[in-house]
């Protein structure tokens, strides 16, 4: 969302600008398809072309300010100047890079102009497309390195770097604007967004709506389920909550209102369901690709282990819709919904074949960028046997749509390199991690609460991707270490104490009596032993106690927790752009819509608890399904406890017991506690179900 409120009106007097944006966007998408399939360019040069193209596109599509007459002409002149400067950046790099390194990276006057100008362009375009907060954070990070870091004391003191060195690191280093995150942007994110644009233009979005209506036609609260199903499928196309709302919401929100849902509730359902598009593979917004870069874990692994947790999230939203529908007796049959088989036969080919090809190529070991390119070509070929064939004109439209959809993300991922460079240069991430560990006092639950609160605050001002990058950079190392610590304590309690720890125990905890090898131990004593190990020895202890897979799982869990928590920026006022878009369609209050969405999307907070305490992201489908089998009744119980209603009204005693059972099923307190919680759940649910049937009979 632009800081000034909206994109430029690319019609009427701006028709020339519209043509430039349309054709330039199509050319830019075509360049990325060539670059990631057949092209050969250095990563730095590819990054600068990527930034220059999307910066120019963004400058023309999002005006500096709104207004007509002379004010509008002045804004256009400013925008054209910014676009031309951005397009000059590749010429600066291509023509001057060799000479720059030949003089040992010493700046001449034009180096100052282009490197500083690139930073200013990125800051201004981030302001237009994502708001003012991200640019402010980047400016604070940049000036911390160059100026006021030297004024601080303690852990936060940084002696400072010269402006020349800082600009060099921001523009040329792997941690800067044109570094690793920019490479993710042009190599992966752009390809999947272009693929989604081709699916949308080919008519696959209509299949998403029709199949949702077909599957949910006779369900209680059916239109709400249409929103959940359609948004899940649409999320695989776009990975964007806003895109989901504007595409599927235009159909599902009026359908829900017609069925009796209040407008603000209908908008909240669509917002919560669309938020799931950011966590559902294969696209997952830009998160999966950035996570792969931060952790070194392959993208395919991240996408594969994310599928079942994402489906549990959508099930949680559907449970909230069902409870609300039963509570308000909303029974609606969509007589106009097409049959399932007819929907698949008429429109499913354009959606299912490209996706099947994409997944087959990914699991066959083909790189994600190549797989997305092949799937994009498949969209075109398959469309020729449908009622919406991809003509040359429609192909150009898809290319242009892909570029327009990608522009805000591209500008953000490049621009936020200013902040990443500052954090990498100063070691600020390690400092923040030490603070989290100190404040949490080694307690994982408290650390999760602190990070959730930080995410809530950031989510009120930052979009999802920016919130994840900031939080992951600062807190993921500490969270990963604490999850590993929890795993080591559990291993000690199971009697898995390596010889290294037994030798250390005699020095650091001589009063602790260790059990015989392989013998179960008291959890409190295991925690005492781990706490006694010096911090500088804990890495060796972790490596001796746990397998390499456990360390990878902890790192992935830490990042996934932060990524899921970052999604709350979609439903947290005042930013919550998807909620505003849904409210506009429903003609409802944006804040009321956001609060409903926040309530329905509470699995964004519950499921990260499972990531922290259970191997929900293990590369074993059976383990994931077993955990999901306990999590689903837990989420249902918590949803019902919040609403005071399940299949029938719940008393306060039932609500408290139901909520407690749900919490135990999500955060396990041991196998016995799990089965007790299941028994409590079954008892209350059974009583409540009989009450509902008696009420229906009466």
**Vertex 365 angle, CA 189 and 555, to 5°:** 65
The first and second tokens of residue 63, run together, are: 């005006």
Across the strands, what pairs with 645?
649
DSSP single-letter state for residue 89:
H
Alpha-carbon distance 476 to 473, whole Å? 6
The answer to whether 609 touches 448, Cβ cutoff 8 Å, is yes
The first and second tokens of residue 553, run together, are: 């799982």
Phi then psi for 297, rounded to 5 degrees?
-85, 135
Distances (CA, A) of 49 to 61, 652, 663: 18, 61, 50
Residue length, the chain? Answer: 698
The answer to whether 272 touches 317, Cβ cutoff 8 Å, is yes
Query: Quick one: pLDDT at residue 335?
Result: 67
Query: Quick one: pLDDT at residue 8?
Result: 67
Condensed to tens digits (0 to 9), the pLDDT of residues 98-133 reads: 999 998 889 999 999 999 999 999 999 999 988 888
Chain position carrying tokens 């941690």: 175
The first and second tokens of residue 341, run together, are: 């088989």
Alpha-carbon distance 578 to 575, whole Å? 9
The answer to whether 312 touches 282, Cβ cutoff 8 Å, is no
DSSP single-letter state for residue 344:
I
CA 182 to chain centre: 17
The answer to whether 601 touches 579, Cβ cutoff 8 Å, is no
Condensed to tens digits (0 to 9), the pLDDT of residues 390-442 reads: 999 999 999 999 999 899 989 999 999 999 999 889 888 778 777 887 888 77
Q: Residue 298 CB: number of other CB atoms within 10 A?
A: 11
Across the strands, what pairs with 649?
645
For 110-153, the DSSP string reads HHHHHHHHHHHHHHHHHHHHH-SHHHHHHHHHHHHHHTGGGG--
Question: Helix or strand or coil: residue 461?
Answer: coil
What stretches in the chain show pLDDT beneath 50?
Answer: 1-5, 12-13
The contacts of residue 364 (CB under 8 Å, 6+ apart) are none
Query: Quick one: pLDDT at residue 2?
Result: 40
Q: Which of 61, 86, 21 is nearest to 396 (CA)?
A: 21
The first and second tokens of residue 530, run together, are: 């781990």
Query: Quick one: pLDDT at residue 418?
Result: 94
The contacts of residue 145 (CB under 8 Å, 6+ apart) are 158, 160, 161, 166, 421, 422, 425, 426
Element (H, E) at 226: helix 222-238
Alpha-carbon distance 186 to 295, whole Å? 19
């Amino acid at each position: 969302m632009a800081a000034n409120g909206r994109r430029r009106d690319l019609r009427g007097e701006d028709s020339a600008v519209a043509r430039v944006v349309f054709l330039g966007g199509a050319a830019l998408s075509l360049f990325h398809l060539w670059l990631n399939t057949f092209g050969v360019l250095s990563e730095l040069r590819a990054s600068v072309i990527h930034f220059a193209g999307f910066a120019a596109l963004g400058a023309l599509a999002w005006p500096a300010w709104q207004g007509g007459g002379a004010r509008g002409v002045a804004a256009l002149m400013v925008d054209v100047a910014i676009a031309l400067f951005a397009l000059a950046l590749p010429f600066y790099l291509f023509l001057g890079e060799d000479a720059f390194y030949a003089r040992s990276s010493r700046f001449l006057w034009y180096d100052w102009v282009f490197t500083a100008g690139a930073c200013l362009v990125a800051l201004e375009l981030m302001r237009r497309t994502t708001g003012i907060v991200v640019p402010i954070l980047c400016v604070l990070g940049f000036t911390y390195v160059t100026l006021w870091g030297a004024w601080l004391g303690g852990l936060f003191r940084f002696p400072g770097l010269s402006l020349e060195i800082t600009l060099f690191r921001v523009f040329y280093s792997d941690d800067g604007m044109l570094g690793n995150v920019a490479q993710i942007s042009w190599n992966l994110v752009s390809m999947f967004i272009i693929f989604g644009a081709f699916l949308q233009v080919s008519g696959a979005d209509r299949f998403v709506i029709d199949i949702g209506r077909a599957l949910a036609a006779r369900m209680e609260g059916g239109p709400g389920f249409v929103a959940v199903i359609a948004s899940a499928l649409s999320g695989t196309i776009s990975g964007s909550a806003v895109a989901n709302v504007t595409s599927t919401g235009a159909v599902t929100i009026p359908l829900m209102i017609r069925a009796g849902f209040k407008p603000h509730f209908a908008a909240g359902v669509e917002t919560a369901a669309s938020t799931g598009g950011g966590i559902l593979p294969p696209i997952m917004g830009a998160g999966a690709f950035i996570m792969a870069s931060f952790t070194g874990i392959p993208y395919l692994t991240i996408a594969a282990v994310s599928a079942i947790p994402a489906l549990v999230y959508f099930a949680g939203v559907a449970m909230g819709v069902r409870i609300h529908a039963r509570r308000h007796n909303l029974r609606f049959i969509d007589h106009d919904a097409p049959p399932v088989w007819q929907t698949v036969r008429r429109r499913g080919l354009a959606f299912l074949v490209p996706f099947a090809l994409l997944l087959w190529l990914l699991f066959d070991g083909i790189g994600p960028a190549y797989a997305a390119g092949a799937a994009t070509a498949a969209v075109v070929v398959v469309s020729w046997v449908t009622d919406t064939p991809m003509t040359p004109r429609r192909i150009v439209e898809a290319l242009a749509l892909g570029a327009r959809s990608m522009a805000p993300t591209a500008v953000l991922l490049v621009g936020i390199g200013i902040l990443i460079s500052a954090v990498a240069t100063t070691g600020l991430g390690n400092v923040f991690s030490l603070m989290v560990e100190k404040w949490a006092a080694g307690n994982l639950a408290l650390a999760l609460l602190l990070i959730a609160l930080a995410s809530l605050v950031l989510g009120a001002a930052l979009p999802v991707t920016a919130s994840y990058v900031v939080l992951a950079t600062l807190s993921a190392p500490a969270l990963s270490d604490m999850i590993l610590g929890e795993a080591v304590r559990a291993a000690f309690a199971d009697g898995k104490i390596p010889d290294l720890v037994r030798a250390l125990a005699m020095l650091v905890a001589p009063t602790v009596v260790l059990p015989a090898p392989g013998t179960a131990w008291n959890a409190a004593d295991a925690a005492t032993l781990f706490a006694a190990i010096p911090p500088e020895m804990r890495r060796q202890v972790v490596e001796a106690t746990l397998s390499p897979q456990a360390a990878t799982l902890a790192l992935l869990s830490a990042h996934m927790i932060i990524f899921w928590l970052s999604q709350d920026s979609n439903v947290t006022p005042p930013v919550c752009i998807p909620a505003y878009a849904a409210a506009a369609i429903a003609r409802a209050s944006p804040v009321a819509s956001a609060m409903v969405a926040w309530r329905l999307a509470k699995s964004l907070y519950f499921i990260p608890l499972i990531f922290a305490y259970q191997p929900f992201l293990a590369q074993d489908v059976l383990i994931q399904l077993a955990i999901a089998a306990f999590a689903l009744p837990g989420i249902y119980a918590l949803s019902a406890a919040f609403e005071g209603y399940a299949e029938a009204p719940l008393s306060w005693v039932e609500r408290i017991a139901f909520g407690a059972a749900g919490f135990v099923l999500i955060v396990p307190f041991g196998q016995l506690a799990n089965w007790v919680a299941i028994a409590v759940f079954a008892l209350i649910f059974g009583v409540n179900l009989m009450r509902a049937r008696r009420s229906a009979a009466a």
